[in-house]
Amino acid sequence: MKRITTVFGVCMLLIFFSSNVLAQQNDGQKRYQPRSKKANSEMGIEGALEYYKLVRGNPTVSDIVNAQKEANLLPDGKSLTWSEIGPDNKAGRTRAILIDRNNYSTFYAGGVAGGLWQSVTAGTSWELIAPLAENYAVSCITQDNSGFIYFGTGEGFGVSTGTAAGSTSFIGGGVYKSTDASGTSFAPLSATVPATASDKWSYVYEIAASTTSNRIYACNDGGLYITDDGGTTWANPVLYPSTTPYAQTAHDVEVGSDGRVYAVVGDKFFYSPNGDVGTYIDRSIPGTSPANIGRMEIAVAPSDPNYVYASVANAFGALLNVYRSTDAGQTWTIIGPGGSDAFSVFGSNNQGVWDNTIKVFPNDKNHILLGGIDLWDWYDGGTWIQKSLWYLDPSSYYYLHADQHDIVFMPNDPNTFLHASDGGVSKSTNGGNTFQTLNRRFGTIQFYHLSCNMFDMVMGGTQDNGTIIIPGNLTTSGTAYDFLGGDGGWTAMSYIDPNVVVGTVYYGDMYRSNELGGNPKAFYSSVMGAPDPLTSSWAGFITPLYLDEQINDLNSPDSMYFYADSVSYTAGTTVVAYSKKNNNFPFTYTLEDDLNIGDSVLIQDRVQARFYVGLNGAVWMTKGLHDFSGAPDWYKVATISGTAQCMAGSEDGNYLFVGTTGGNLYRISNLCAVKDSLTGYAASQYSVVEVTRIAATTRSITSISVDPNDPNNVLYTMGNYGSATHVYYSTNALDSIPTFVNKTGNLPQMPVYASIIELHNPNTVIIGTELGIFTTTNISAASPSWVEDNSGCGRVPVYSLKQQTKNYYNNTNYGVIYAGSHGRGAFKSMSYVGLDEIQPAEATETIGVYPNPAESTTGLMFRSDETGNAVVNVYSIDGKLAISKQVNIVSGSNLVNINVSDLSSGNYLVEVRIGSVSKVGKLIKK
């Protein structure tokens, strides 16, 4: 028998539908079956660096310094306050860790874009201690004999080959020093603050403290530098080949227990008995030269400073050899030969320039650890043993995240060490036989994109930490779980079926799940070809997606039969039908004719799901996202020039805007009329879709925003430092020849990555930039005034912004804004929710409001425990009472109609007060 109910039942059905989904989502972590990360996590760092270059350009130090100075001149905004939402169990790339010499339970760790963090609980929980106003790109940390802590900034390591050759990620701000021995506040050392385009302090590769004095050593692009006065003055002590300071890039420095110094400067290995100026001797490894050295990392044995080891990656990033010297570098022996598949420390992607670290056990000069993709162990007389596997489940004792960057031994226990990687901080207490992760509240994950559902769940793609799902307020927890591995990209979450999610891995590798992340499956069809997950021939490194879902699409071209199985209906009756294509989602339909028992009528299926993916040269659409019986039908709705970089759609689903890496902006129109391949395929003579290039620039378009209330209002942003324009806006985007106007205003000359046009006020635009979040409330002005709105999140790159604009049944986050930062995790702001600010404190239940949005009349559906009178109040968004009326109610289910035709368009709070009980709902007046 077909399922049929009356209109009153739709509210109860939708509440049941949402409650059932909520229950399933709360159980999502229990049901999740992790996917093998090895299958989609072997890209390496090159793609990410290419992406950075695409959206940031090739900035000089002066570009970055000037942008920071310009930002400092802007007023602080008061409109947004951000709260961190996680993940609180996962972390991003970490290149440096330190154990406090005065308290072995105090650890420090540095995120490459997330600042300096401290744990006073031996790593069980972390807290950000660097000021939020400046999110330092921490690259190295040390502590002098007096207890003062120094950290260097700027991540200079990159790759040596490919289109990203020479590219790095985050330029730094020199060296910072704790203002006292407590290590909780820091200030920059003025002598190291970069000031020019070629400043050597832009990248600090390593920093070390003398074991016999308070001297500090620092490696930068100008060579090795020392300070004996706490950082006030610095000098290059390496005079080579005669009396001239050797000004080649220094990558590593190590200090022996007796104060001797080993340093890697350029392609050479230097030894000094005391570190003083002019005492450095060239003891380079035979067979090494500028032509075959990409990066050399060294380690000195704490128990015997004559023993020194070197891990050398060649110019292509592959392992050249691992060397050992037992006489302070006078002679060298190869202990780990390169060129072996069995001993592929830096992986098939040859990442020895990116991830390369080596350390000697403190109590055994003949025992070392070597980190690249995984961690390896060697001792004299033994063989190389691989100690970790990055692709194991994180719960495994043998799991360490891929890409090793630092190892620090516990001063009082030679078998315990901390370990830094692209996945944060880990610890071993048995010499590297097993590991545990120490990422609790170490919020340094790097998001590329995030999305949300209607219940405050957030899903996002991250750099080298895959695609993750944060449950949100369902469990009041930021603890995330995995969906996909590798480098995550754009994501999508469904409302029609909140168990359906979509995620991407680099270069268009895309998966969906109808188990809220469990059992992900690819769903391209054969007509599209197969993605090549290692090249850009298929799609961009970060592939854009867009999911448009409508629950009352009056323009839907789809139809279905409605059956009167057991009840007859008269014309004008509003019934509830169930979408045949989209998860049996309920919708209302008003019958035009009488319908007797046993009869059926063809009606419009008003529930629609249109899913888009932007590839190289094309935009594809499927209407079968919710059909998991096999690969859905895909239609190439548009052919474009170049590679899709970002997408955004109109609220009604009829328009899609696509930006490319080459700077083209396309408008794809009439999408609501697409029924099948004939009407949707771009090459079909029957295609109803119109594709128009409406703007052309010379730089990559990084984001597009469409006004939720008027698709004529469209904004796009661009990247790159040093450019004068980054924001363009149109108020006639649907015209045949739209006009886009520069709205950069007083914004600093820095990359803009993300944007939204605020739901409640089309004059308010919020953008994510290299220096965090900025807002204007006058985008319509000729030159808008922008303010910094980083309260609670700091100046961290923000790559993604999302506002939840669907006021559907039982949603819990209407108007909430989410931000995905590239270094500090995810944040949300309730500042524009509005209605919650006037919600009665005693409200305990919600009511159904339908139709919603409403033009003239809407119905309020709720239950009461008593028969009698109730008061219906309607409040405007600023808290003013707009309607108040007394109504009669009965014990049980109630449906009360109210006339809203006199209300102005906008958002309202609806309250039904029954004695001391208050029930609330939200209403949109058209």
Q: How confident is the model at residue 135 (pLDDT cuts 50, 70, 90)?
A: low
Mean pLDDT to the nearest integer, 72-93 = 92
Structural contact between residues 729 and 764, judged by C-beta atoms closer than 8 angstroms: no
91-437 maps to which CATH number? 2.130.10.10
Long-range interactions of 647-650: CB distance < 8 A, separation 24+? 647/544, 647/545, 647/546, 647/612, 647/614, 647/619, 647/704, 648/546, 648/703, 648/704, 648/705, 648/706, 648/714, 649/546, 649/548, 649/612, 649/706, 650/706, 650/711
Report how far residue 478's alpha carbon sits from residue 475's, in angstroms, rounded to the nearest whole number.
Answer: 8
431 Cβ neighbours under 8 A, 6+ residues apart: 361, 414, 415
Report how far residue 272's alpha carbon sits from residue 239's, in angstroms, rounded to the nearest whole number.
Answer: 11
pLDDT tens by residue, 531-568? 776 678 899 999 999 999 998 888 899 999 999 988 89
Structural contact between residues 532 and 510, judged by C-beta atoms closer than 8 angstroms: no
Give exposure, 190-213, as e/b (b: 16+ Cβ within 10 Å): eebebeeeebbbbbbbbbbbbbee
pLDDT tens by residue, 633-667? 999 999 999 999 999 999 999 999 999 999 999 99
The confidence score (pLDDT) of residue 884 equals 84
Lowest mean pLDDT among 31-40, 110-119, 328-337, 759-768: 31-40
Q: How confident is the model at residue 842 (pLDDT cuts 50, 70, 90)?
A: very low
Q: How confident is the model at residue 349 (pLDDT cuts 50, 70, 90)?
A: confident
Higher-confidence residue of 166 and 703: namely: 703
The confidence score (pLDDT) of residue 907 equals 80
As given in the structure block, the two tokens for residue 52 are 């950075």
* pLDDT higher than 50, residue 41: no
* pLDDT higher than 90, residue 867: no
Q: How confident is the model at residue 473 (pLDDT cuts 50, 70, 90)?
A: low
Residue with tokens 């309920």: 586
The domain made up of 32-46+445-555+607-833 has a fold known as Methylamine Dehydrogenase; Chain H (2.130.10)
Mean pLDDT to the nearest integer, 134-150 = 91
CA angle, 145 then 147 then 153, to 5°: 100
Chain center to CA of 597: 54
Lowest mean pLDDT among 68-82, 200-214, 250-264, 286-300: 68-82
Identify the CATH assignment for 842-925 out of 1.10.10.60, 3.40.50.300, 1.20.1250.20, 2.60.40.3080. 2.60.40.3080
Residue 553 identity: D
* pLDDT higher than 80, residue 125: yes
| Percentage of the chain exceeding pLDDT 90 | 70
Identify whether 87 is preceded by a cis peptide bond (ω within 30 of 0). yes
Mean pLDDT to the nearest integer, 577-606 = 90
Structural contact between residues 646 and 658, judged by C-beta atoms closer than 8 angstroms: yes
3-class SS of residue 479: coil
Q: How confident is the model at residue 848 (pLDDT cuts 50, 70, 90)?
A: confident
Higher-confidence residue of 45 and 563: namely: 563
Mean pLDDT to the nearest integer, 182-191 = 91
Report how far residue 582's alpha carbon sits from residue 622's, in angstroms, rounded to the nearest whole number.
Answer: 12
pLDDT tens by residue, 97-109? 999 999 999 999 9
Structural contact between residues 461 and 491, judged by C-beta atoms closer than 8 angstroms: yes
- State phi, psi for 688 to the nearest 5 degrees: -95, 0
3-class SS of residue 690: strand
Q: How confident is the model at residue 4 (pLDDT cuts 50, 70, 90)?
A: very low
Secondary structure, 3-state, 345-385: CCCCCCCCCCCCEEEECCCCCCEEEEECCCEEEEECCCCCE
CA angle, 488 then 491 then 496, to 5°: 155
The confidence score (pLDDT) of residue 370 equals 99
Please state the pTM of the whole predicted model. 0.87
Structural contact between residues 729 and 779, judged by C-beta atoms closer than 8 angstroms: yes
Q: How many CB atoms lie within 10 A of CB 699?
A: 18
69 Cβ neighbours under 8 A, 6+ residues apart: none
* pLDDT higher than 60, residue 37: no
Mean pLDDT, rounded, of the chain: 89
When computed from its CA atoms, the radius of gyration of the chain, rounded to whole angstroms, is 30
Lowest mean pLDDT among 180-184, 406-410, 778-782, 820-824: 180-184
> Where are the CATH 2.130.10.10 domain residues in the chain?
32-46+445-555+607-833, 91-437
Q: How many CB atoms lie within 10 A of CB 662?
A: 16
The confidence score (pLDDT) of residue 839 equals 43
Residue with tokens 């419009």: 604
Mean pLDDT to the nearest integer, 311-334 = 97
The confidence score (pLDDT) of residue 131 equals 63
The confidence score (pLDDT) of residue 168 equals 65
Structural contact between residues 177 and 122, judged by C-beta atoms closer than 8 angstroms: no
The confidence score (pLDDT) of residue 58 equals 84
Report how far residue 797's alpha carbon sits from residue 59's, in angstroms, rounded to the nearest whole number.
Answer: 15
Mean pLDDT to the nearest integer, 401-418 = 98
pLDDT tens by residue, 725-752? 999 999 999 999 999 999 999 999 999 9
The confidence score (pLDDT) of residue 26 equals 41
Report how far residue 463's alpha carbon sits from residue 483's, in angstroms, rounded to the nearest whole number.
Answer: 14
> Where are the CATH 2.60.40.3080 domain residues in the chain?
842-925
* pLDDT higher than 60, residue 843: no
The confidence score (pLDDT) of residue 45 equals 84
Residue 110 identity: G
Mean pLDDT to the nearest integer, 317-341 = 97
Structural contact between residues 234 and 219, judged by C-beta atoms closer than 8 angstroms: no
Give exposure, 883-902, as e/b (b: 16+ Cβ within 10 Å): beeeeebeeeebebebebee
E strand spans, 372-496: 375-379, 385-386, 404-410, 413-421, 424-428, 436-437, 447-452, 458-462, 467-470, 481-484, 488-493
* pLDDT higher than 60, residue 217: yes
